[in-house]
Structure formats: C-alpha cells, structure tokens
Amino acid sequence: MASGDVTVSIIVEGGVTKSAVVDSATRVAAKAYADSVVEDDLSADADYQIHLANKVAGMIVADANRNLDNSATASVSHKTIATAAS
C-alpha cells in the first residue's frame, strides 16, 4: 500500500474482515468531488474518514429500508365519495 492509499474494512460481528484498497489518486479525486457537494469541511483526513464511514452506514440503512419497502404489501380500500345535490 502506497502513501495516501485508503483501506476500507468491513467487519460483520462474528465474521472476518473484508477490505478494499483505493489508490491515492482515486482518493484525491473522490475527495475533491465530496468537497464540492458536501457542506461539511472535509479538509482534514479525519473528517473525510468520518464522511466515508457515515456514507457507508447510510448505504446499509438505505438497503435495509428498500428491503422493507419491497416486502411491504399495500392494502387499497376503494371508497365511494358522495357529493351534495345542488
């Protein structure tokens, strides 16, 4: 791993750690994009780390919500609306 590379590790409780390495040039490009769309100051590496961790956590929550949406069943009730006679 070269200087400036990023290692992303995911550990599921009771499981093994899975990691992915992103090279420093990709990290710089991704951080530049994040700086342009995120209101938080990501100039410090620690702040960018927090941003990435929260982004991954948000993706996991979004997937869980999509799963709940997909398993939900809609119950449609048809109503007849009466109108007053003029």
Q: What is the pLDDT of residues 24-47, one digit of tens each?
A: 999 999 999 998 998 888 888 888
Task: Quote the domain boundaries for residue 45.
Answer: 25-70
Element housing 19 (H / E): strand 17-22
77 assigned to some structural domain: no
Is 7 inside a domain boundary? no
Query: What does pTM read for this prediction?
Result: 0.66
Task: Show pLDDT as tens, one digit a residue, over the chain (86 residues).
Answer: 677 888 989 888 888 999 999 999 999 999 999 989 988 888 888 888 888 888 888 998 999 988 888 777 766 666 656 555 54
**In sequence order, what are the residues at sequence separation of 6 or more whose Cβ sits closer than 8 angstroms to the Cβ of residue 42?**
31, 34, 35, 48, 51
Instruction: Give the chain's domain count.
Output: 1
Cα separation of 81 and 56, whole Å? 47
- For residue 12, tell me if it sits in a domain: no
In a domain, 15, yes or no: no
pLDDT of residue 17: 92
Report whether 46 contacts 63 (CB < 8 A).
no
For residue 85, the model assigns a pLDDT of 56
Between strands 6-11 and 17-22, the pairing is: antiparallel
